[in-house]
Structure formats: structure tokens, C-alpha cells
Chain A
Amino acid sequence: MQSEANIIKANRPRRGGIKGLLLSPEVSILIPLIVLSVITGIINPKFLSWGNFSVILRYSTFIGVVAIGQAVVIMSGEIDLSVGANACFSGIIFGVCAITYDLGFIPSALIAMLAGGLIGFINGYLVASFGLVNFITTLATMFLCHGLAITISGGEPIAPLPDAYFDFALLRPLNLSWLFFIMLGILIITEIVMRFTTIGRKVKATGGNKEAALMGGINIKRVKWGAYIFSGVLAGICGILYAVELSAASPESGIGLEFRTITACAVGGISLMGGEGSILGVGIGFVLLMVLANCLQLLKVESNWQLVIIGAILIGAVLFDLAKKRVQAKSEQ
């Protein structure tokens, strides 16, 4: 038996003060964001204006919506490669409904979200119920979505959407856009659900150790289905928002979004093994990615080199996460 004194001494709060704050997942991502911004701001003062920053935030809307869904799937211990193509597919469905069939905004949007959700449902069904490998399954649905998007659209953008949509997208509250606020709303609600509710616990438990979650009485199939459907619906929403922003549904939208969202999750401190992470962190993660792209542009870095730098930063983020865990483990011992 450990001596009583030892136990009592160790009973004090684990972490606190500045060290604890620095180790908290959100703050530790915020720091590189701030450092990056300050450096770029010094080199190019234009960067630090709200005008520039609001543009960044506005463009982060689309990666943001999808990254939130991706984050939930990753926390449940799976991965969703179909999100980008799904966003494209759902966007095309939205375009077809709104333009070809003239169904009006709300019915078109609902149908597009349903389409996105259906893809998520298929992913969930194959992965959770059949036990197929998530990577291959969602890779397959990615091709499926892309093929359908091109087939339905005939390879051409579907345009133009009714003017009213475009006018809505052009509104600039706080120099941002309503589309951005829709994304922000989804982010906040998801953060609350994942952090404070039983649903969040169940998702993270499933990602943490699905067998143990099963023994704890969690319906892990339902959790995985739910996560994939959620991710699918959000991809659908992304497709709609993007179409509204461009006033057109393009069969080329959403390309590469799956990997950019996974990057955002990794940078945002979500363990790719599942089981932990925060949506707020992912939010900071994708803004960081957008800021980085903007910085590189302002610093006139060639686009090929931008990719190299993003790759290096991703490795850096993962290494940083590892180092952080080591420090945490040490301070807990």
C-alpha cells in the first residue's frame, strides 16, 4: 500500500497555473496561430488588418463545416475520406433541385442535406455493421460521389442560381458573411454536444476503446452510424453553402477537402487514434491552415513550395502533440 501521506499529497489538482493553460489543447494551437500572424504582420503589415482577416474567416467557412464532421468521425475512431466528393455531389444535387426543377431554397437544401446524409448512412452501414475497413469504404464512396456528381452535372457547372441566394451570400455583417455565421453556429453547437453531453461521451468512448465502450453498454454501431451520417449531412451543407457563395454548383468543388479536413483535425489536436479532442481546437486548426495559406501568399511563396510547407507543418503538429503528451504524462506521474 502507498502511504497515506503520499496519496494525500498527490491528491492536489493535477495541473494548474500557466503550465496547465499552455498544455490545454486549444491554447497550445492558438499560440502558433498568434506567432505566425505576428511574424507575417511584421513582414507585411497588410496582413494584420481586419479586412484581410475577415476574408480569411469567410473562406474558412467551407473547410470548416466539413472539418467539424470529420472531427466527430475521427473522435469515434474512424475516418471519412468521402467528405470532399460528398460536398461536391450534394452541391450538384442542390443545384439541380434549385435550378433545373426550381424547387425553392428550403426544399432544395433539405434534399441536398438528405443526399449528403445518405452517403454518410452508406459509410456507416458498411463500416459499423459489416465491419469493412473505414479507409477503403470511404475511399470507395468518394469515387462514387465524384462519379455521380460528374454524371449528373454533365461535367459542367450548374448555374446560375437565383439572384436572391447570391445577394444573401454578399451580405457582410461585421465584414464577414452569413454563411460564416452558419458555420460558426454549427461549430458551437457541436462543441457543446461533444463536450458537455452524453452523446459526446459516447462518441469519445467508442473512439477510445470500442470493446470497452461496448462492455460499458454503449451501442457502438449506432454511435458510428451517427458520426458518419453527421459528417455526411455537414458535407451536404458545405456543398450548399459553396454553391450559394459561387452562385453555381460546380462538379469540381470539394476536391482535396478530405485531406485538408484531416490536416485541420490533426493540427487542431484531435488524436487520430480517436477518443479525445475538441471541436474548438479543430476550429482554430482550420483557421490556422487558412492563415498559413494567406501568409504564404502575402510573402509571395510559390504555390509548389506552399504544399511543402503545409506538409512540414502537419508533421510538426503531430510531433508537437506527441511532445505535449509526454510532458502531460510526466506531470501526472
Chain B
Amino acid sequence: MNEYILEAINITKKFPGVVANDKVNLSAKRGEVLGLIGENGAGKSTLLGVLNGIYHHSTYDGELKIEGKTIKPTSTHDAMNLGIGFVPQEINVLQSLSVAENINMANLKGDGKVGIVNFNKLYAKTKKLLDDNHIDLDPKADVRKLSIGQQQMLMIARALVTDPKILILDEPTTSLSNKDVENLFAVIRELKKKGTSIIFVTHKLAEILELTDRLCILRDGKNVGLYERKNYDEDKIIEGMIGRKITTMYPKRDVKLGKEAFRVENLNVDHPYVMNKHLVKDISFSVKKGEVLGLAGLVGAGRSEVVTTLFGVIKKRSGKIYIDGKEVKIKNSSDAIKKGMALVTEDRKKYGLIFIWSILKNISISNLKSISKLKFFVSTKMEEHRVKKQFDYLKIKAQSMKTKVDSLSGGNQQKVVLGRSLNASPKVVMLDEPTKGIDVGSKAEIYHLINQLAGEGVAVVMISSELPELMAMCDRFVVLAEGRIAGEFSGKEGTETNIMNAAVKTFKKI
């Protein structure tokens, strides 16, 4: 019997003007976890598209084999039938249906007669599938009520229903808490024991090191190599991905603090639907010019609510905001930008970009006055000139400024969002999870940019769920829990233990 379940040999996939995969090889052994890593734009998504049948086999060169037999998938459905299960990065479950219905979507009728669903059988079948794979979900549960982690498990269960020989997981941990990640890993190990092979795509090096048996690194659409577990560590992976050694992931900077740039006093925000409940309670903090303040806390502690309220998107009940010592009234986002604030939100898709537009127009939108004559007539020349600055400053990788943003990688889209904020020449920049879901190389670039901004005297407020990142980047920390300040630490006091202890603090009900 062939040692390899899945082999991809010399895959070459071209798009007009770009060779996305250049003779890429990948092979997965029975019952192993194969890591797949590479920067955004390295060709991972293309390779996954080839494996998972998104691209018709005639549109690329090379050979795919399952258990030694050549296959020619024509569609995702076809690939599924050939034994390739795929769990996409974004969670897409049907909210209004039950767990069992979601899992058996493709074959709801089962052996039911005249097309009527036999729910008892459906639930029993689903329960068996879930139990066999140690997935803790109730088949009858309403999907709407599941947590993000549970929904991720549901997606995996859905891929397992066809009993795949190989399961591809595309960044499954992006939106999961630590506990959910542990559960996920347990399920993966269980699958491995049963002989299912797993291809695990992630940006998180720690996960690669913990989980994988072998690792495939891609760069610029080519194989860097296929490594056995004993032959890679963190440095080796980073070097492989970006083709050079990053001496420091988090660049150092000389902290030069100026005057106070930004102060918030007693910010209170009511819950929009529940009476007498708050989202944010009595928050006060200040940031100096050139300082990076970390807003730490668990997901749901009110971090995002604080910054979106300050930006005028959520209505506050009370609280004062000072910029450069002067109190400012901010009723909406337009006021906030005019007063010198910028916000980069966590949800890049929803709040980030106008996807049918070019990079150029997306960036210029935040400061239309600066690109128009008489503050009214938009001048394309002024627009291109002004945006070019951001485009170069941020090193956005795109064919030109006129490229539509929907064709950019996640890291570059994030840079466009940043560019839009910086285009308004802000004094205070608030970043909500600025490196979520982007690759190591882009992360390092974003860190560099944050330092550069601080160096130019901008006050930065940064939110991140990745503690190492937050600890490395910030000069001071405010920890939130249950919408209140649970602790404040200087750079030295800001250890992982101190921050976590504060973050899990519970307040008495008021």
C-alpha cells in the first residue's frame, strides 16, 4: 500500500500575469498532521483551491494522486467524493438550522421515503458521528446559540460526514479562544489516531510546533521545503517563510514620550438592549505623544466597545474626551476624524473596505478635503499624489494603486485600512486587533509601522488578544474586565501573570 494518502506533484497554476503555484509538491502520509505555512500571497490559497477542487483540473498543470491513483477533480463536490474534506477559514454555517441539519445538509433525506426527513434517524446518525470523533455538540442544538468555537467544531463535523481520507483545515483557530483551540487539537489528534490525514494551515507558529508531524513551507508560489518535525523550529520556519532571518520579530524603538495627547475621563456606555446594564463603566486613561498604550483583556471585556465609542460610532452615556489638552465633542465618526482620531477595526470585512473600489479611492475617502479644489471638486492628480505617499509608506503590494481591494491578500487589505486612517493625519491612532489573520511577514511590517507612528509623535492605543504581541509592542497597559478597568501596569509591571490576573477579575454586580 502506498505510504502517501495524498500527493500533489509539480502543481503549476497561473493567473494572468502571476504564477501563483510554480511546480509545487506536497504529500501527506496516512494518519499524520501536515502543516502548511507561508506568507500571504505565497500560494497557499491557490494550492488549497487545487486540492479542494475549486479549480477545474484542466486549469493547472501537474498531477494529483490519492493512494497512488491519479485523480482529476472537476469541482469541490467531486473532490469531496474522492475523499478530500475541506474546512474553509471563514465560518459559514446555517444559523437558522440545527446542528444535525447543518452537518447532513448534502443528504438530509437520508434513506427517508418520498423525500421526507426522518429527524429521529438524522439525530441518531449525527450523534454517532459526533461521538465517534469526540466532538461535544448536541445534534438538536440551535446553531444560532453556539459559540464561535462550537461553530468551528460544527464545520469540522460537516466535513467529516463524507468520511474523508484527508481533511484540510484552513486557519481553523483564527477566532477561537485558548480553550476552544485545545478542544480542536484533541479532536485532530483523535482523527489522526483513526488514520485520517490532516493538512493544517495556520499563521501561528506555536500551533505548528505543537501539532504537526511534518511541515511544508511555501514562498512566492514555490516550495521552500518539506521538513520532518525534528528539523524545524520557530527560527527555521520564519527564515523559510520570508527567505531571511528576522532577528527580532518585534522591532525595538527609542521611546520618546511627549505631552499628553489623548485623555478619556469616566467613559460610560449603556448596553443597547438591556436596561441598567453597561458595556463600559467608568473608564479613564491617558496616552502621551509617542506612547503605545495596550488595552488588554479577554474577548468581551469591552475593549472594542471602548474604542468604537471614542470614535463616535457607539453612543456614550457620559464621559469626556481630551485631545492635546482640549476637550472635544465627538458625535460621529466624521467628528472623530476631524479632531484627529483614527480607528482600525477588528472586522476588516464589514467595517474595513469598499471592496468594489480601488486602493486609491479607499484610502482617499477619509480626507476628501485634501484632494479637492474649493473643498468640492475632487482632483485625480491631487488624489494620486496624496495616496501615493501612503501607498509607498505602507509598502502595499499590489499591481498599482488602481487595483481593486478585493484581489489583495489579508495583510495588504489591512494596510489599505491603515492607509485610510493615516491619510487623515491623525494624532491618536486606535488599533483593534491590527494583526488578526495576517501572516508573520506582514505582522512584522505592521509592528514596524506602529513604532514608526509612535516615533513620529502619534499616540497609539492598541488592542490585541495575543499577549506576547501586546507585551512587546506597548509601553503601558490598561487591563479591562467586564467593561471596567481591572488593572493598570507600566511596561515593567506588565508581565503575563499580572495582566492575566487582572483580566480574569470579576466585579460585584451593581
Listed in ascending order, the chain A residues whose CB lies under 8 Å from chain B are 1-3, 6-7, 9-11, 14, 196-202, 205, 208-209, 211-219, 221, 271, 275-276, 330-333
A329 to chain B, nearest CB (A): 8
Q: Name the residue on A nearest B338 (C-beta).
A: A217
Complex contact A208–B220 (CB within 8 A): no
Instruction: Give the chain B neighbours of A1 by CB distance below 8 A.
Output: 41, 220, 397
Instruction: Give the chain A neighbours of B313 by CB distance below 8 A.
Output: 214-215
Give CA–CA (A7, B396) in the complex, Å.
Answer: 12
Give CA–CA (A6, B397) in the complex, Å.
Answer: 11
Complex contact A215–B333 (CB within 8 A): yes
Complex contact B351–A214 (CB within 8 A): yes
B463 to chain A, nearest CB (A): 15
Instruction: Give the chain A neighbours of B332 by CB distance below 8 A.
Output: 219, 221
Near A by CB (< 8 A), chain B positions 320-368 give 332-334, 336-338, 343, 345, 350-357, 361-362, 364-368
Say which residue of B351, B361, B400 sits within 8 Å of A10 (CB atoms). Answer: B400
Complex contact B378–A275 (CB within 8 A): no
Complex contact A198–B372 (CB within 8 A): yes
Give CA–CA (A215, B363) in the complex, Å.
Answer: 11
Residues A216 and B378 in contact in the complex (CB < 8 Å), given A1-B220, A1-B397, A330-B16: no
Give CA–CA (A9, B399) in the complex, Å.
Answer: 8
Selecting from B157-165, B227-235, B401-409, B470-478, the interface stretch reads B401-409
Residues A218 and B365 in contact in the complex (CB < 8 Å), given A213-B354, A333-B17: yes
Chain A interface helix/strand/loop/mixed: helix
Further contacts, 8 of them, CB under 8 A, given A14-B400, A221-B332: A11-B399, A198-B369, A205-B354, A208-B356, A214-B313, A216-B420, A332-B404, A333-B16
Complex contact A198–B354 (CB within 8 A): no
Instruction: Give the chain B neighbours of A202 by CB distance below 8 A.
Output: 368
Complex contact A213–B378 (CB within 8 A): no
Complex contact A11–B400 (CB within 8 A): yes
Q: Pick 9 A–B contacts, CB within 8 A, sort by A.
A: A198-B375, A201-B368, A208-B355, A217-B336, A217-B367, A217-B424, A221-B332, A332-B403, A333-B16
Say which residue of B336, B351, B369 sits within 8 Å of A212 (CB atoms). Answer: B351
Give CA–CA (A330, B15) in the complex, Å.
Answer: 9
Say which residue of A2, A199, A208, A216 sits within 8 Å of B366 (CB atoms). Answer: A216
Say which residue of B336, B365, B372, B397 sits within 8 Å of A197 (CB atoms). Answer: B372
Judged by a CB distance under 8 angstroms, whether B18 is at the interface is yes
Give CA–CA (A153, B429) in the complex, Å.
Answer: 59
Say which residue of A3, A199, A205, A331 sits within 8 Å of B365 (CB atoms). Answer: A205
Judged by a CB distance under 8 angstroms, whether B376 is at the interface is yes
Complex contact A201–B354 (CB within 8 A): no
Instruction: Give the chain B neighbours of A211 by CB distance below 8 A.
Output: 350-351
Judged by a CB distance under 8 angstroms, whether B377 is at the interface is yes
Complex contact B337–A217 (CB within 8 A): yes
Complex contact B41–A198 (CB within 8 A): no
Complex contact A214–B403 (CB within 8 A): no
Give CA–CA (A303, B407) in the complex, Å.
Answer: 46
Instruction: Give the chain A neighbours of B366 by CB distance below 8 A.
Output: 216-217
Instruction: Give the chain B neighbours of A276 by CB distance below 8 A.
Output: 356
Instruction: Give the chain A neighbours of B16 by CB distance below 8 A.
Output: 330-331, 333
